[in-house]
Structure 1
Amino acid sequence: MVDPVTARNWGYRGLYVLLVLLLAFVQLLPLGAGGGALPGADLITALTFAWVLRRPAYVPVLLLAPLLLFLDLLLQRPPGLGAALMLLGSEILRSRRDMSRSVPFAIEWAMVSAVIVALAGLNQIALGLVMADRPPLGQALLRSLFTAAAYPLVVLVSHYILGVRTAAPNEAVALGNRL
C-alpha cells in the first residue's frame, strides 16, 4: 500500500503542475489589450509562494526548477533568469515558513510582497547587466504590486477550494516535519 501522506503529496504536486500549466496557457492566449494597458498579476508567482508557505512538500525544488525553466522557454523570457529568481524567492520564503506559521496573515502578506518587489528589482538589474530588453521599471513595479495584491485571493482559493492549508504545529510533529 502507498502511504497516505505520500499519495496526498504527489496528488497535490500534480495539481500544482496542472494549475501552473493552465495559467501559462491562459497567458499565451491572445487576450491582451493594447500597448497602454495595465499589466496583470503574475498568478504563478502568487500560487507558488502561497503553496511554499503552506505546504512546502507540495512544491519541492526538484519540481519547481524544471517547471519554471520550461515556463521561461514557453513564455519567451530569458532562459533561466525567471526560474532562478523564483527559486530564490521560494527558498527565502521556505526558510521562513516556521516563523510565518505563527504570525498574522498581514505580516505574511507583507513578507511575500517584499519578496515579490525585490525579485522584480533583481530582474531589472540582471536584464540591465546583460543589456537585454527589459520592461519599463514602472510597468515591472506595477506588475509586482498587482501580484502582491492578488496574493490574498490566491491564498483564499488555495485554502477553501483546493484544500492547501497550513499545518498545525502538532500535525507537523505527527508527520515528522514532512510537510
Structure 2
Amino acid sequence: MRSGRWSRRALLPLLGIVAIHAPLVPVAPGSGAAMPDLLWCLVLAFVARAPDAAPAAVIVGLGLLADLMLSRPPGLGALGLLIASEIFRAPDGAARGWSPPREWLFAAAAFAATILATALAERLTLGPGLAALRGHVVATVLAYPFVALGVGWLLGQRPARSGTR
C-alpha cells in the first residue's frame, strides 16, 4: 500500500511536466488556436480527487516552472494555482462536497481571476491585453472536465467528499 501512495504522489509531478510542455509543441503553427492551461486543470482535478497526493510544494514548483517555461510573469500563475488548490483542499472540506458542475464553475472562475491578475500585471509591463488572453481562458474552461475525468480514471476515484480521505 505504501508504494501505491508514493506512485500517486509521483503521478502529479510527472503529468505536470507533460502538461507544461504540451503548449510548447507546435501542433498547428500559425493557426492562432489558444491552448488550454492543462497544468491548471490537472492540479485542481488532482487536488479534488487526491488531496494528500498533491503537496503544496509540488504545486508551487510546477506553477513556477510553468511560469518560466511559458514566459509568464514568474510567480503570479503559481500563486493563483496555489490559492485555488488550497480552497479545494480546505480543512472543512466544503469544496469536496461540490458537484462536478460546481467544481468546474469554481475552476473556471479561479482561472479567469488568475488570468485577469496576470493581465493587469502584464499591462504594467506592456504585455498582451485581455483580448489576447480570452481564448486561453475559454480553452482552459472547456478542457477542465475532460482532464478531471482523466485524473479520476487514473486515480480510480471520484472527487473526495466531506469527511472522507
Aligned counterparts of 1:135 and 1:8: Cα–Cα separation in 2? 43
Q: Which amino acid in 1 is paired with 2:149?
A: L
The answer for the alignment partner of 1:87 in structure 2 is 82
Q: Return the letter of the residue paired with 2:9.
A: R
Shift of 1:99: 2.0
Which residue does 2:136 correspond to in 1?
143
CA change 1:169–1:65 in 2 (3 A) is: closer
Describe the superposition over 1:26-54 as per-residue Cα deviations: whole angstroms up to 9, x where unpaired: 322233421x6131111110011111122
Map of 2:34 onto structure 1: 39
| 1:72-123 residue CA offsets vs partner (Å, 9 max, x unmatched) | 2222322222212221222233228722333322122112111111111111
CA contact (8 A) 1:120 1:144 kept: yes
Instruction: Please state if 1:156 is matched with 2:149.
Output: yes
Instruction: Note if 1:9 corresponds to 2:2.
Output: no
Tell me the CA shift for residue 133 of structure 1. Answer: 3.8
Distance in 2, matches of 1:97 and 1:26, equals 34
User: Is 2:50–2:160's contact at 8 Å kept on the other side of the alignment?
Assistant: yes
Q: How many angstroms apart in 2 are the aligned matches of 1:158 and 1:165? A: 9
The aligned counterpart of 2:19 is 23
Q: TM-score, normalised by structure 2?
A: 0.85
The residue matched to 1:101 in structure 2 has which SS? helix
For the Cα contact (< 8 Å) 2:93–2:161, is it kept in 1? no
In the alignment, residue 30 of structure 1 is paired with which amino acid? P
**61, 68, 78: which one aligns with 1:73:** 68
Q: Give the Cα–Cα distance (whole angstroms) in 1 for the partners of residues 82 and 128 of structure 2.
A: 21
Q: Does 2:62 match 1:62?
A: no
The match for 2:112 is 117
**Distance in 2 separating the partners of 1:76 and 1:125:** 16
- Change in 2 beyond 3 A, CA 1:39/1:77: same
- Larger Rg, first or second structure (1 or 2): 1
What is the identity percentage for the equivalent residue pairs of Structure 1 and Structure 2? 31
Whether the 8 Å CA contact 1:117–1:145 is kept in 2: the answer is no
Conserved 8 A contact 2:41-2:144: yes
Q: Which runs of 5+ in 1 are unaligned?
A: 173-178
Distance 2:113 2:142 in 1: 15
Q: What is the DSSP-based 3-state SS (H/G/I as helix, E as strand, rest coil) of the residue aligned with 2:77? A: helix
The one-letter amino acid paired with 1:145 is: V
* Cα distance in 1, alignment partners of residues 152 and 101 from structure 2: 16
Residues 11 and 144 of structure 1, relative CA distance in 2, 3 Å threshold: same
- CA gap of 1:22–1:144, structure 2 versus 1, over 3 A, is same
Letter of the 2:10 counterpart:
G
